[in-house]
Amino acid sequence: AQSVSQHNHHVILSEAASLELGCNYSYGGTVNLFWYVQYPGQHLQLLLKYFSGDPLVKGIKGFEAEFIKSKFSFNLRKPSVQWSDTAEYFCAVIGTSGTYKYIFGTGTRLKVLA
């Protein structure tokens, strides 16, 4: 079955700590991968995406993610978090052809303490 797993449901960090949020997927075939973020009181917005090429992709606000095909993973990282990174983060996957059905994870709530 097609699925996305985000094992960390809640993460609490102090400012300047490093962040890594896990995302593993189960999907037959080649995929495109995304991270979306929802800041408090705002709508979901795209943080970064992977389609092909360099498996290390960089997004907005200093975030990056690495696609490891052998591990079916697309973990999100940031070397030093800020209070303003407090948000909910969603990983998503979609096949590269013949589908419009995005599969989202259940999200990870990140709280950064000032």
Partner 1 sequence: GAGVSQSPSNKVTEKGKDVELRCDPISGHTALYWYRQSLGQGLEFLIYFQGNSAPDKSGLPSDRFSAERTGGSVSTLTIQRTQQEDSAVYLCASSLPGGINQPQHFGDGTRLSIL
Distance of closest approach, residue 39 Cβ to partner 1, in angstroms: 12
Distance of closest approach, residue 104 Cβ to partner 1, in angstroms: 4
Q: Which residues bind partner 1 (CB under 8 A)?
A: 4, 6, 32, 34, 36, 43-46, 49, 51, 90, 92, 94, 96, 99-107
Which amino acid does the sequence have at 94? I
Distance of closest approach, residue 63 Cβ to partner 1, in angstroms: 15
Distance of closest approach, residue 52 Cβ to partner 1, in angstroms: 10
Taking the CB of residue 12, how many other CB atoms lie within 10 A of it?
A: 11
| Residue nearer to partner 1 on the CB measure, 70 or 97 | 97
Q: Where are the beta strands (DSSP E) in the chain?
A: 3-5, 10-14, 19-21, 24-26, 31-38, 45-50, 56-58, 64-68, 73-78, 87-95, 103-104, 108-113
| Residue nearer to partner 1 on the CB measure, 70 or 98 | 98
Q: Which two tokens stand for residue 19?
A: 């962040």
With CA atoms as reference, report the closest residue to 3 among 114, 78, 94, 79. 94
| Residue nearer to partner 1 on the CB measure, 31 or 112 | 31
